[in-house]
Amino acid sequence: MESAVKKTLMDMMPMLLKASISFLTVLLVMSILWKKRNSLPGPWAVPIVGNFFQLGDQIHITLTDMRNRYGDVFQIKLGLMPIVVVSGLETVKRVLLKEGENFADRPNFYSFSLFSNGSSMTFSEKYGESWKIHKKIMKNALRNLSNESTNSSNCSCRLEEYVCAEASDLVQELTDLSAEKVAFDPSSLIVITVANVVCALSFGKRYDHHDKEFLTLIDFNNDLRKAAGGGLLADFIPILRFIPSSSVKALKKFVQSFHSFIAKCVKDHFATFEENNIRDITDALIQLCKERKSEDKNQLLSDDQIISTVNDIFGAGFDTITSALLWAIFYLLRYPEFQDKIHKEIEEKIGCNRAPRFNDRKDLHYTEAFINEVLRHSSFVPFGLPHCTTMDTKLNGYFLPKGTCVFTNLYQVNHDNTVWKDADMFMPERFLDQNGQIIKSLTEKVLIFGMGVRKCLGEDVARNEMFVIMTIMMQRLKLVKSTKHELDPIPVYGLTLKPKPYYLVAKVRT
């Protein structure tokens, strides 16, 4: 009996072996298909360096082209770090707005740790109660400063007074440089104008344009632009943090120098603070912390957090608004007919006997449409700061574990032909209805300041500043491009996208 069973089993062995192999093969294929179904699409990555060399020097264009191939959610690798790239208006809205708390962290980047020292609301803080308190205090400080009265009867608040004064100085500088009728690059004047507004906003002080301390601040900004590249590369290839590098060394030096400068300014503000004389955002932050002192200490900002907050405001207000104004002038030179339309609107709604003010935005619809089209078409902040998942989550059917780094392709949304008719054309009129009124539902689709919990708190400040500076220029000047230099629409990559240098002459309107 036993031998018969053995014989039967021996006879069945080939068949059992084949069945086992077939079963394991099916299981393996199913496993591969299951993983493929749940894995993110994307280009093949080179070991160690990832997809760096595939991105080219116009990363926003490359990732937008990849979206057409891989869809709204795909993955690339930068160095050793997998990055999920999100495109499409509705998918981006899910990440930033509808499910914003699931994507509200920041990745643990080396450069972020250098900039913030663990105290920044913008760069390093994990999303949670501490971050929410920090955001609330910062938001209230900006609001309080916007409501702070001014000695000037013509301005509604101190911020408006600062912006109007700098805009008038800018017009005078442009006029003086144009006296010899030789075209010049206006970028340094724009940098100085914006820097002085940010200094006034942050420290309550407008500098003489030749002041040594002020020029040091300008140099800080130039140093940051030069140094940032090396620091950013070390975010994705960690070994670069430990290899001697002139760019990483320069980034560290910049951060230390700038942090020391901000810390000194904040210390001086603590020493000279007067409750009934709020001079700037630093005073506004100190005031809010003093008012909360009797409450829960967890509701306060530490001195380091105040320094980092002022640092954040200075950085955000500097490069962003500089880029916005440089692009606005670029389009005004490229399409001079828009200058005439804006000037005509200013003449009809305001006249030429007073300078435009923040409150005029609601009446200058064409000017507002032009500004929105500048923000959309240039998309000078193509991705915004990276986000990171706060928990395991799903996006468009794909599983994203906690800690996944996410890039939102704002450039793609701003140039999506399913959202914008003739998206690659520059047409301010797209934002106006048949009665010449702003279409608010369209302006809300312009993604430059982000949206949701991590949206830039300074959007209104930036828009107001850009509006007043540009309208004061258009009220008094006509800008004429150089006949010897072409306008190149391909941007230069940096902290933001900037236009390549261009040249102009300013003519005083009479």
Q: Is residue 486 part of a domain?
A: yes
What pLDDT, on the 0 to 100 scale, is given for residue 261?
86
Per DSSP, helices labelled H in 243-302 are 246-272, 281-291
In terms of Cβ atoms closer than 10 Å to its own Cβ (0-12, 13-18, 19+), residue 341 is middle
Of 508, 510, 509, the residue nearest 179 (C-alpha): 508
List the structure tokens of 401: 């574990």
How do residues 259-303 score in pLDDT, each as one tens digit? Answer: 888 889 999 999 999 888 888 889 988 888 877 665 655 556 777
19-28, 167-176, 456-465: range with lowest mean pLDDT: 19-28
114-123, 154-163, 343-352, 404-413: range with lowest mean pLDDT: 114-123
Query: What's the total number of domains in the chain?
Result: 2
DSSP string over 4-21: HHHHHHHHHHHHHHHHHH
- Name the residue range of residue 240's domain: 49-508
Q: Can you say which residues are annotated as belonging to the binding site for heme? A: 456
Q: Is residue 219 part of a domain?
A: yes
Neighbouring residues of 124: CB distance < 8 A, sequence distance ≥ 6: 106, 112, 113, 115, 116, 117, 118
Q: Is residue 296 part of a domain?
A: yes
C-alpha to C-alpha distances, 201 to 256, 278, 459, nearest whole angstrom: 22, 11, 14
What pLDDT, on the 0 to 100 scale, is given for residue 8?
45
β-pairing verdict for 81-86 and 405-408: parallel
2 with 97, same domain: the answer is: no
22 with 141, same domain: the answer is: no
DSSP conformation class of 361:
G
Whether the pLDDT of residue 16 is over 50: the answer is: no
Q: Is residue 40 part of a domain?
A: no
Q: Is residue 41 part of a domain?
A: no
164 with 25, same domain: the answer is: no
CATH code (residue 242): 1.10.630.10
Q: Is residue 475 part of a domain?
A: yes
3 with 120, same domain: the answer is: no
Whether the pLDDT of residue 30 is over 60: the answer is: no
Most confident of 138-142, 240-244, 306-310, 400-404: 400-404
List the structure tokens of 377: 């078409």
Q: Can you say which residues are annotated as belonging to the binding site? A: 456
Average confidence score pLDDT of the chain: 86
Q: Is residue 98 part of a domain?
A: yes
How do residues 307-339 score in pLDDT, each as one tens digit? Answer: 888 888 887 778 899 999 999 999 999 999 999
Of 299, 493, 317, the residue nearest 411 (C-alpha): 493
